[in-house]
């Protein structure tokens, strides 16, 4: 078993919203590895970061990704930083991966630089988001088969475009 599509991208790109809508339109299940991590840990992601740190979170994320790639046959959304781990990038090889990109201004507007996104909190969240984009952009592109810019499109427009690209509900992604 393998996901029909894996979605990667930075915070605010629309991975969850686009993923849920696309899964519904394709008639397949949706799964988000961030939710899997919270289930594994029995705590929220901000709590994991605060109590155990980012390395512990990334280990849980790799466990969640490994399980999801083996068990899930629908649309799978990954946390924004999943691609920062070399092991995760290796796990994604051979899977259909879509990179939803978002620019700095739009990403900051969408995320609101809120507390549920622990890597975006701090003294200068805008600079943090910019550094995150700079670090991760080549990694998203490394794992993805194709990229869709989400700055100028609504989630519904993105899903419509994706369905046209993949041939609707009867096509394999």
Q: Which residues are annotated as a binding site for ATP?
A: 12-17, 117
The annotation places the binding site at: 12-17, 34, 58, 80, 117, 136
Q: How far is CA 22 from CA 84, 95, 108, 144, 167, in A?
A: 25, 17, 24, 17, 13
The annotation places the binding site for substrate at: 34, 58, 80, 136
Written as six digits, the tokens of 75 are 């649309």
**Cα dihedral across residues 151, 153, 158, 161: positive or negative:** negative
Identify each DSSP E strand in 5-160 by its residue range. Answer: 5-8, 30-32, 75-77, 97-101, 146-149
The annotation places the binding site for Mg(2+) at: 16
């Amino acid at each position: 078993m393998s996901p029909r599509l894996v979605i990667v991208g930075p915070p605010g790109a629309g991975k969850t919203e686009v993923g849920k809508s696309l899964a519904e339109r394709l008639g397949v299940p949706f799964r988000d590895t961030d939710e899997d991590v919270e289930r594994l840990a029995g705590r929220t992601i901000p709590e994991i970061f605060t109590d155990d740190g980012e390395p512990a979170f990334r280990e849980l994320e790799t466990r969640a990704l490994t399980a999801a790639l083996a068990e899930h046959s629908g649309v799978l959304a990954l946390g924004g930083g999943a691609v920062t781990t070399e092991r995760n990038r290796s796990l994604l090889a051979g899977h259909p991966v879509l990179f939803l990109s978002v620019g700095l201004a739009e990403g900051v507007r969408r995320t609101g630089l809120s507390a549920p996104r622990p890597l975006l909190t701090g003294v200068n969240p805008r600079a943090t988001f910019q550094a995150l984009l700079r670090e991760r952009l080549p990694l998203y592109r490394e794992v993805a088969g194709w990229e869709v810019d989400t700055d100028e499109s609504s989630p519904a427009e993105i899903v419509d475009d994706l369905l046209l690209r993949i041939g609707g509900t009867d096509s394999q992604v």
